[in-house]
Amino acid sequence: MKIVTIVGARPQFIKAATVSRIIRANPAVHEILLHTGQHYDENMSEIFFRELGIPLPDYNLEVGSGSHAVQTGLMLKGIEEVLLKEKPDCTLVYGDTNSTLAGALAASKLHIPVAHVEAGLRSFNRAMPEEINRIVTDRISDLLFAPTRTAVINLSQEGLADITCFTGDVMYDSVVYYKERILQNPAKYKTAGIPEKYLLATIHRAENTDNPGNLKNIFLAFSSLNQEIVLPVHPRTRKILQTSPDLPGNVHIIDPVGYLQMLKLTMDATRVLTDSGGLQKEAYFLRKQCITLRSETEWIETLHDHWNIIAGSDPGKIEAAVAGDLPTAPIQEGFGNGKSAGIILEKLLLF
């Protein structure tokens, strides 16, 4: 079976690392890796290939940054050329980025079956570009790998139950697998030059970065927290912060870090504040309370017992969440058993 895996953005490298490791261990499968080039900085792309042992991409389209239409259009053109040349039995796409949409669209128009990992996530907020990408990708895919029962229900409500399979979450597989490696040599993955006790924050969603009011409110809340905050800054956010003169003194901005360093930063943090989808889950898996800097979450399983608090960009809600007690309730199982990638491979082989 020949599979073309299509990735392009940071969280997709992390997800594909886990699935590709399992896929490539099976001699019945030949995987071709296509990188769209959506993310291209060394610390947004290459670092993950290197540290997670992902084979180098067979193709890199190098589309780079651009408006949604320009970026997606360039990807469509490049992906079509590769698919026509490689003639795979199926394509594998991940998550909800423009690379996901372009991969699914190019393949489905060529009648090449599409399998979607992390299908069925819904924020029910169509102002998010990711929501459009998810809805379209799920609708045109042939096999939907749902990470949670909520995702299964969402897909069923859209009439897609027949092609849906609950797999669990490959990001849970990743945390289970790599946490062990970190625990064997914690000093290796520790970030130098940051405070001993800190809150870990990330911000990159369009709703926060492209809305000066929201970003200002988040930093207003940060400045009033009276705690040190470590912020590995996404390049999108860095560009905006470059023109912002007054960053609060308690915010320590660092460059984006590799995945293992990021897991370690999460393990050592008091709490996590983020608008990231992936980091909300990692915080939960690592038993760290998450304060979500968005007005909703797709990962509603994380909300029980205040493990995840939706605060948006409201300073009052952010401050109240950080002032509250840390949760102690057990984490619920809802993301599979850490072997989702194996289930994905099994289903692909039957596809």
Assess 41 for contact with ligand UD1 (CB under 6 A). yes
- Catalytic-labelled residue, pool 30, 204, 234, 252: 204
Tokens linked to 102: 């372009």
Distance from the Cα of residue 200 to its chain's centroid: 16
39 flagged as catalytic: no
The yes or no reply on residue 97 touching ligand UD1 (CB under 6 A) is: yes
Residue choice 7, 10, 199, 322 for contact with ligand UD1 (CB under 6 A): 10
Asked if 15 is part of the footprint of ligand UD1 (rule: CB under 6 A), the reply reads no
Q: Where does this chain touch ligand UD1 (CB under 6 A) — which range of 152-160, 188-196, 231-239, 303-311? A: 231-239
Binder of residue 256, out of ligand UDP, ligand UD1, none (CB less than 5 to 8 A by kind): ligand UDP
Specify the residue, 258 or 327, whose C-beta has the smaller distance to ligand UDP: 258
Selected from 4, 6, 33, 44, the binder of ligand UD1 by CB under 6 A is 44
Q: Which does 65 bind (CB under 5 to 8 A by kind): ligand UDP, ligand UD1, none?
A: ligand UD1
Nearest CB to ligand UD1, comparing residues 22 and 308: 308
Which range in 8-16, 18-26, 103-111, 183-191 contacts ligand UDP by CB under 6 A?
A: 8-16
The set of catalytic residues is 204
Which residues contribute to the site for ligand UDP (CB under 6 A)? 10-11, 14, 202, 204, 232, 256-259, 262, 276-279, 282
Which residues contribute to the site for ligand UD1 (CB under 6 A)? 9-11, 38-41, 44, 65, 96-98, 129-130, 204, 235-236, 239
